[in-house]
């Protein structure tokens, strides 16, 4: 039996030798980028702390985060530039170059190990994808950066999902603590009084449900169809149509007023608190957990938070892609 192992040809040409120094620059930039990301002080708890939303929002345009975006963009641009016009095997040299600082920094900050590895894999993916293109044109570089950052986008979902799933109860407690702090105490009254004072009256419904609105929703042809379905054979005249619309509006307003009053009474009873006291986090949590509609929200809570995080990463990726593509094209023209 003969086992043939295909040979692996590694071509080390002048272009590769000229690009080797950029690996050391990549190592330096990526290491500093990881330091800046740690100093940005992001946490999954930021996504559920509504009371400090303005403070958390400031992190996205802090000096540390801006420097991180610039450094990571430059690192991705260099990785794409390095991978272009060399063999796929040699382009994988970016992987150990980025894994080393990711693992070292992750040992100092274990909570950030997963994001650091995701950043390293993103740069490695950029170099590998770039090796498939022989000409580093702007369109090729832009597409390469987009595909590499897609890796970061997917990994960010699983990282946040895993972190929130592991500490779901802690995140839920933070969510209820934040939500309870934002609920009003109704100026010295209880929450039930605030619910009963909601401006949903008969006049409100009458203003919202006009005859023109009903005519847009139910045309004369629709009315004729309803008559036919009910077994009627006569044609709906213009006068009959107008009368039916008016009668329908009157019925909606009258019954809507009764329904709104019932809903407000039911909610006020469920969220009743002692006079002058806002509902505590524990009270709000107990009330929500007793609501059947809350169970799907709880079951999918980690997914929802992960999707919110992905949307924020997608915004960040646009700027990284723009800067990285510009840097890669600029280096290719040197």
State the pLDDT at residue 276.
42
What pLDDT is stored for residue 186 in this prediction? 45
pLDDT value at residue 6: 56
- Calculate ∠ Cα 56-60-61, nearest 5°: 115
Closest CA to 98 of 70, 121, 71, 128: 121
Q: What is the pLDDT of residue 150?
A: 93
Residue 278's pLDDT is 47
CB proximity list for 226: less than 8 A, separation 6 or greater = none
pLDDT at 287: 67
pLDDT, block means (10 residues), the chain with 334 residues: 52 78 94 94 76 73 93 96 88 94 95 95 95 83 93 93 85 71 50 62 70 70 64 68 77 70 64 50 66 76 85 91 93 84
Question: In angstroms, rounded to a whole number, what is the distance separating the alpha carbons of residues 300 and 255?
Answer: 35
User: Residue 81 has what pLDDT?
Assistant: 93
Q: How much is the pLDDT for 295? A: 76
The model's pTM: 0.67
pLDDT for 158 equals 94
Q: How far apart are CA 193 and CA 181, in angstroms?
A: 17
User: Are 30 and 124 in contact, with CB atoms under 8 Å apart?
Assistant: no
Cα R_g (the chain), whole angstroms: 30
pLDDT at 316: 92
Q: Find, among 117, 109, 30, the residue nearest to 77 by Cα.
A: 30
């Amino acid at each position: 039996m003969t086992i043939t192992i295909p040979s692996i040809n590694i071509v080390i040409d002048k272009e590769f030798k000229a690009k080797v120094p950029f690996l050391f620059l990549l190592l330096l930039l990526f290491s500093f980028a990881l330091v800046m990301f740690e100093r940005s002080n992001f946490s999954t708890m930021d996504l559920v702390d509504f009371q400090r939303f303005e403070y958390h929002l400031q992190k996205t345009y802090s000096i540390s985060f801006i420097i991180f975006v610039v450094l990571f963009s430059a690192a991705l641009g260099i990785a794409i530039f390095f991978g272009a016009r060399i063999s796929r095997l040699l382009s994988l040299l970016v992987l150990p170059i980025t894994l080393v600082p990711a693992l070292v920094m992750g040992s100092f900050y274990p909570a950030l190990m997963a994001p650091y590895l995701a950043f390293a894999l993103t740069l490695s993916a950029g170099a590998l994808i770039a090796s498939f293109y022989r000409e580093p044109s702007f369109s090729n570089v832009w597409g390469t950066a987009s595909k590499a950052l897609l890796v970061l986008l997917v990994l960010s979902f699983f990282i946040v999902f895993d972190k929130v799933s592991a500490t779901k109860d802690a995140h839920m407690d933070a969510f209820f603590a934040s939500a309870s702090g934002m609920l009003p105490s109704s100026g010295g009254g209880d929450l039930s009084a605030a619910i009963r004072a909601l401006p949903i009256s008969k006049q409100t419904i009458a203003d919202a449900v006009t005859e023109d609105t009903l005519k847009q929703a139910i045309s004369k042809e629709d009315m004729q169809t309803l008559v036919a379905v009910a077994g009627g054979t006569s044609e709906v005249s213009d006068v009959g149509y107008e009368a039916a619309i008016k009668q329908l509006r009157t019925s909606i307003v009258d019954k809507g007023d009764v329904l709104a009053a019932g809903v407000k009474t039911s909610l006020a009873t469920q969220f009743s608190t002692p006079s002058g006291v806002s509902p505590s986090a524990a009270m709000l949590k107990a009330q929500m957990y007793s609501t059947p509609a809350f169970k799907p929200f709880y079951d999918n809570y980690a997914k929802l938070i992960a999707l919110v995080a992905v949307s924020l990463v997608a915004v960040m990726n646009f700027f990284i892609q723009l800067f990285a593509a510009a840097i890669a094209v600029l280096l290719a023209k040197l």
